Amino acid sequence: MTSDVANTRYRDPATKRYNRRMIGAMLSYIVLLIGVQRAFDLDAMHGPARWVLAALPGLPIAAVFWLIGDMILDMRDEYLRLLEVRKALIATGVTMTLVSILGFLEMLGGAPHLPLFYVPVLWFGSLGIGQCANMLIERQRS
Amino acid sequence: MRQHADRAPKVVINHLRALRAARGWSQQHLADLLEVSRQSVNAIETGRYDPSLPLAFKLAELFDLAIEDVFVSPSKEQ
């Protein structure tokens, strides 16, 4: 996932750094996911060792959230920073709304269980909704 | 999307477009001088965004003007 805030000429150093680090995080995720699945027979393991290994692929995903926050803090262009913050807030609101409704659907409506792993996936997808909302809000104000 | 006039602060009026036009500068040129994006200059000019004090001072200094000559104080708006 790359940042889309830069225009044709302006390149904020924070977004360049973010894009470079994001590639590293995604490569780490792929290596850890495949590595843990292939290198260890998790079914044969029990207790803390299995928990640690099973949690490892989640660390690069956690790093992605840290990278997004770090980019927002480091951005020099304050208007583009505002757009990024609004996009993330909208994505958070959409995700929390969806998982709240899904939770009640599971608990009371007999809906199938959605693994928690999909919550960050929903959030990343909701960034697109945040981006569309940014465009609509800015277009309306101009 | 509905605007919340009671929540959103009133945007400060500015003379940026006229000042820029008087110097024959494009939005992109001004953005390059300010080290911001062209979208930022456009957002300030069209009243979608009020710059921070450091950016407002930088703008005024670029035009060699006092900050009050670029931005209109809300209390002095007619």
- pLDDT (tens place) for every residue of chain B, 78 residues total: 455 555 555 678 899 999 999 999 999 999 999 999 999 999 999 989 999 999 999 999 999 999 999 999 888 776
Ranges under pLDDT 50 in chain A:
2, 4-7
CA distance A7 to chain B (A): 7
What chain B holds in terms of domains, given with CATH numbers, is 1-68 (1.10.260.40)
| Torsion sign over Cα B16, B18, B19, B25 | positive
Is the CB of A9 inside 8 Å of chain B's CB atoms? Answer: yes
pLDDT score of B71:
93
Is the CB of A109 inside 8 Å of chain B's CB atoms? Answer: no
Residues of A in contact with B38 (CB under 8 A): 7, 9-10
Nearest to B48 among A133, A136, A138 (CB): A138
- Are the beta carbons of A133 and A90 closer than 8 angstroms? yes
pLDDT score of B76:
78
Model confidence pLDDT, tens digit, residues A56-72: 999 999 999 999 999 99
pLDDT score of A12:
83
Is the CB of A142 inside 8 Å of chain B's CB atoms? Answer: yes
Q: What is the DSSP string of A80-113?
A: HHHHHHHHHHHHHHHHHHHHHHHHHHHHHH-PPP
Residue spans of alpha helices (H) in chain A: 13-39, 48-55, 58-74, 78-109, 118-141
pLDDT score of B9:
58
